[in-house]
Chain A
Amino acid sequence: MSASKDITPPELIKDRGSLHPINHMKDSIMNLLVSFGFEIVDGPEIETEEFNFDMLNIKKSHPARQMHDTFYVENKLNLLRTHTSPVQIRGMLERKPPLAFISGGKVYRKDDDATHLPMFHQVEGILVDENVSFAQLKDLIYKILYSLFGKDVELRFRPSYFPFTEPSAEVDILSREGKWLEILGCGLVNPVVLENCNIDSSKYSGLAFGLGIERIAMLKHGVTDIREFYKSNLDFLSQFK
Chain B
Amino acid sequence: MKIAYTHLLSHIQEKPSIEMVSDKLFQLGHEHEVEGNVFNMEFTPNRGDCLSINGLLRDLAVFYTVNLDQKKYTESIDKLKIDFENLSQDICPQISFLKLEIDKIPDTYKGCLNSYFLDLNINKNNFFTDISNYISYETGQPTHCYDASKMNGKLTFQELDSYQEFETLLDKKINLTKKNSVFLLDNQVINLAGVIGGKRTSCTSETKSVFIECAFFKPEAIIGKSLKYDIQSEASHKFERSVDPACHETVMRRFINLVSEHSNIKEMSLVSYKFENITTHRIPVNVSKINQIIGINISEDQYLSYLLKLGFTINDALITVPSHRSDIKTQNDLAEELARAIGYNNIPKIELTIPKGRASNNYEIENKLRFFLLDQGFYEVINPPFVNISSDESIKVDNPLDSNREYLRTNIINSLLDNLIFNERRQKDSIKLFEISDVYTSINNKTHRVRRLSIIASGRAGHNYENFSTKINIKHLTKIFHEALPSENFDFQILTRDSLNTKIKNEIIGCEIDISNFSSEVLDYKETSKSPGNFIQYQPISELPCSKRDLSFSIKDFTKCKSLEDYIFGLKEELLKEVFIFDYFNNEQNAEIKIGFRFIFQSTDLTITEAQVSNIMSVIIDHANKIEGISIPGLN
A114 at the interface (CB under 8 A from B): no
Which residues on B sit within 8 Å (CB–CB) of A18?
374, 379-380, 532
Provide the A1-34 mask, 1 if CB < 8 A to any CB of B, else 0. Answer: 1011001011011111111101111011000001
Contact across chains for A44 and B399 when beta carbons are under 8 A apart: no
Which residues on B sit within 8 Å (CB–CB) of A38?
354, 357
Give A195 Cβ to nearest chain B Cβ, in Å.
Answer: 11
Cα A142 to Cα B350 in complex, Å, equals 11
Contact across chains for B398 and A75 when beta carbons are under 8 A apart: yes
B238 at the interface (CB under 8 A from A): no
Give A50 Cβ to nearest chain B Cβ, in Å.
Answer: 15
Within 8 A of B (CB), among A102-161: 110, 112, 117-119, 127, 131, 133-140, 142, 156-161
Contact across chains for B537 and A222 when beta carbons are under 8 A apart: yes
Contact across chains for B360 and A100 when beta carbons are under 8 A apart: no
Contact partner of B379 (CB less than 8 A), chosen from A117, A231, A237, is A237
Contact partner of B293 (CB less than 8 A), chosen from A23, A41, A167, A168, is A167
- Decide yes or no: A17 and B357 within 8 Å by CB, A157-B345, A233-B426, A234-B426 being known contacts: no
Cα A177 to Cα B384 in complex, Å, equals 33
Within 8 A of A (CB), among B356-412: 356-360, 362-363, 367, 370, 373-386, 395-401, 405, 408
- The total of chain A residues at the interface (CB under 8 A) is 99
Contact across chains for A20 and B438 when beta carbons are under 8 A apart: no
Contact across chains for A159 and B398 when beta carbons are under 8 A apart: no
Which residues on B sit within 8 Å (CB–CB) of A110?
399, 401
Contact partner of A73 (CB less than 8 A), chosen from B29, B378, B398, is B398
Contact across chains for B360 and A40 when beta carbons are under 8 A apart: yes
Contact partner of A135 (CB less than 8 A), chosen from B350, B373, B432, is B350
Give B224 Cβ to nearest chain A Cβ, in Å.
Answer: 5
Contact across chains for B355 and A100 when beta carbons are under 8 A apart: yes
The A-B contact count (CB < 8 A) is 295
Cα A191 to Cα B373 in complex, Å, equals 45
Cα A22 to Cα B435 in complex, Å, equals 13
A173 at the interface (CB under 8 A from B): no
Contact across chains for A15 and B464 when beta carbons are under 8 A apart: yes
Which residues on A sit within 8 Å (CB–CB) of B340?
159
Which residues on B sit within 8 Å (CB–CB) of A60?
220
A229 at the interface (CB under 8 A from B): yes
Contact across chains for A234 and B293 when beta carbons are under 8 A apart: no
| Chain A residue with Cβ nearest B602 | A235
Give A12 Cβ to nearest chain B Cβ, in Å.
Answer: 6
A196 at the interface (CB under 8 A from B): no
B351 at the interface (CB under 8 A from A): yes
Cα A84 to Cα B383 in complex, Å, equals 18
- Decide yes or no: A157 and B44 within 8 Å by CB, A61-B220, A98-B355 being known contacts: no
Binding site for B on A (CB under 8 A): 1, 3-4, 7, 9-10, 12-20, 22-25, 27-28, 34, 36-42, 44-46, 59-61, 63, 66-68, 71-76, 78, 80, 98, 100-101, 110, 112, 117-119, 127, 131, 133-140, 142, 156-161, 166-169, 188, 190-192, 205, 220-223, 228-241
Closest 9 CB pairs of A and B: A135-B295, A159-B29, A39-B357, A133-B295, A37-B354, A167-B336, A161-B44, A15-B377, A157-B344
A-B contact pairs, 14 of them (CB 8 A): A1-B557, A13-B581, A19-B532, A20-B380, A37-B357, A39-B360, A46-B449, A73-B396, A138-B344, A158-B31, A166-B333, A167-B293, A167-B336, A221-B538
Q: A66-B224, A101-B357, A134-B344 are in contact. List 6 more A-B contacts (CB 8 A).
A: A13-B463, A17-B375, A37-B353, A119-B386, A133-B295, A232-B382
Binding site for A on B (CB under 8 A): 26-29, 31, 44-47, 219-220, 223-224, 227, 240, 292-296, 330, 332-333, 335-336, 339-340, 344-345, 347-360, 362-363, 367, 370, 373-386, 395-401, 405, 408, 419, 422-423, 426, 428, 430-434, 438, 440, 442, 447, 449, 462-467, 528-529, 531-532, 535-539, 541-542, 556-559, 561, 565, 580-581, 584, 586, 591, 593, 595, 629
